[in-house]
């Protein structure tokens, strides 16, 4: 089986004051590859390649507070995956190539993923997570809000979204057909789809099919917080 081509280019380091990057790394990832980002204590922003960049180029730029410069992020390549690890204080701007999937593990900091060409999976222990992608996403948050807007009409199996303490807002294309399970242990549920729920004490639950239902599912749960499942209308 032909494996996606991967080329790592040397890191370019510069001693600059934030917000200018103190470390930047570039490389090539082909469609179908995965970019893993592990970040300890900073903000992560992920976008598609910048205007004028080749579509298979990934870029990782690290910034830090002016009172200290942490070590540059470490990169490891294995097969068709690249893993980026950033320590405390470092915030990252990541450019994700077309057709490359993004996996994020964040300990403490906000995560913003916007308009990447692949799918996204986010695991954040603490921080607010915002995802807006034309494909599909999944996310788990410990403490913080979770807002996901996705353009995919079809996805494999069940997409899972969970928060221990915080609100969840999901926006899904209005014509998409799927089964939904929404539950809050202490909060409220709201949906623009034709679904009905039930309540038992503080627990509210919605189970039902949207546009005829089907094998693909959306599962969302928060222990303390509200869940909103909204319709995203097709653009003219």
pLDDT for 195: 93
161 in the same domain as 95: no
Confirm whether 234 is domain-assigned: yes
Instruction: List, for residues 63-82, the tens digit of each pLDDT value.
Output: 988 777 788 999 999 999 99
Confirm whether 88 is domain-assigned: yes
User: Which range of residues forms the domain containing residue 181?
Assistant: 146-236
103 in the same domain as 9: yes
Give the integer Cα–Cα distance in Å for 128 and 111.
6
For 18, counting Cβ atoms within 10 Å of its Cβ (0-12 exposed, 13-18 middle, 19+ buried), the class is: middle
pLDDT for 67: 72
Confirm whether 140 is domain-assigned: no
114 in the same domain as 76: yes
116 in the same domain as 21: yes
Domain boundary among 108, 135, 162: 135
Confirm whether 167 is domain-assigned: yes
pLDDT for 235: 67
Domain count for the chain, please give it. 2
pTM of the model: 0.89
Using alpha carbons, list the distances in angstroms from residue 230 to 157, 175, 191, 198: 20, 12, 6, 18
pLDDT for 189: 97
Confirm whether 141 is domain-assigned: no
Confirm whether 104 is domain-assigned: yes
188 in the same domain as 97: no
75 in the same domain as 157: no
152 in the same domain as 131: no
Flag residues of the chain having pLDDT under 70: 1-19, 235-236
150 in the same domain as 125: no
Please tell me the number of Cα atoms within 13 Å of 62 on its side-chain side.
32
192 in the same domain as 120: no
With a CB cutoff of 8 Å and minimum separation 6, the contacts of 60 are 24, 25, 26, 37, 73, 75, 84, 92, 93, 94, 95
pLDDT for 8: 40
90 in the same domain as 19: yes
Confirm whether 55 is domain-assigned: yes
pLDDT for 233: 82
164 in the same domain as 84: no
Longest dimension (CA), the chain: 58
DSSP-derived secondary structure letter, 3: P
Domain boundary among 79, 100, 135: 135
pLDDT for 121: 99
74 in the same domain as 173: no
Domain boundary among 135, 167, 199: 135
């Amino acid at each position: 089986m032909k494996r996606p081509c991967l080329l790592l280019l040397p890191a370019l380091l510069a001693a600059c004051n934030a917000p200018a990057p103190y470390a930047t790394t570039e490389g090539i990832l082909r469609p179908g590859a995965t970019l893993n980002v592990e970040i300890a204590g900073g903000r992560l922003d992920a976008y598609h390649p910048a205007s004028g960049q080749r579509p298979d180029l990934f870029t990782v730029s690290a910034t830090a507070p002016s009172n200290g410069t942490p070590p540059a992020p470490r990169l490891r390549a294995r097969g068709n995956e690249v893993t980026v690890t950033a320590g405390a204080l470092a915030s990252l701007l990541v450019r994700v190539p077309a057709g490359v999937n993004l996996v994020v593990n964040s300990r403490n900091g906000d995560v913003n993923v916007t308009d990447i060409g692949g799918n996204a999976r986010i695991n954040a222990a603490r921080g607010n997570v915002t995802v807006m992608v034309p494909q599909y996403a999944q996310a788990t948050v410990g403490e913080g809000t979770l807002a996901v807007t996705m353009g995919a009409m079809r996805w494999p199996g069940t997409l899972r979204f969970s928060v221990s303490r915080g609100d969840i807002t999901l926006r899904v294309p209005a014509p998409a057909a799927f089964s939904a399970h929404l539950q809050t242990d202490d909060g409220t549920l709201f949906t623009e789809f034709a679904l009905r729920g039930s309540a038992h004490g503080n627990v509210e639950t919605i189970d039902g099919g949207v546009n005829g239902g089907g094998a693909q599912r959306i599962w969302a749960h928060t222990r303390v917080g509200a869940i909103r499942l909204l319709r995203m209308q097709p653009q003219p």
